[in-house]
Amino acid sequence: MFNPADIQKGMTTRDRDGENLGSILSVDAAGFLIEKGQFFPRDYRVSFSEVTDIDGDDVYLREDLASLPGVRPDVLAARGALSRPAPLRHDLTGALGASSGDWDG
């Protein structure tokens, strides 16, 4: 368990696999901002609920890079993660399948 008060400006944010996502620009009562850069086209907002651990100057998030919604698409494509998994929804028959956006199940 971590204490949100231990998260400070300048710490390194990492995904669950240890990938360096960038430095923390600012911290407030709800969370913090990761600097824009290699992975994010603009500063990326993170809530404290997305943090799993702090180790020294490293803040670890619960998701991997491909699961973070703000990651630049060209970065995902270069890593072979061309698309995020489609959400699963029930169709009119009750079957579970990937949502294509073509139906309202």
First to last CA, the chain: 39
What predicted TM-score, i.e. pTM, was given to this entire model?
A: 0.73
CA distance 87 to 40: 23
> Tens-digit pLDDT profile for the chain (105 aa)?
688 899 999 999 999 999 999 999 999 999 999 999 899 999 999 999 999 999 999 999 999 998 898 888 888 888 776 545 555 566 777 666 655 544 444
Is the separation of the CB atoms in 54 and 60 below 8 Å? yes
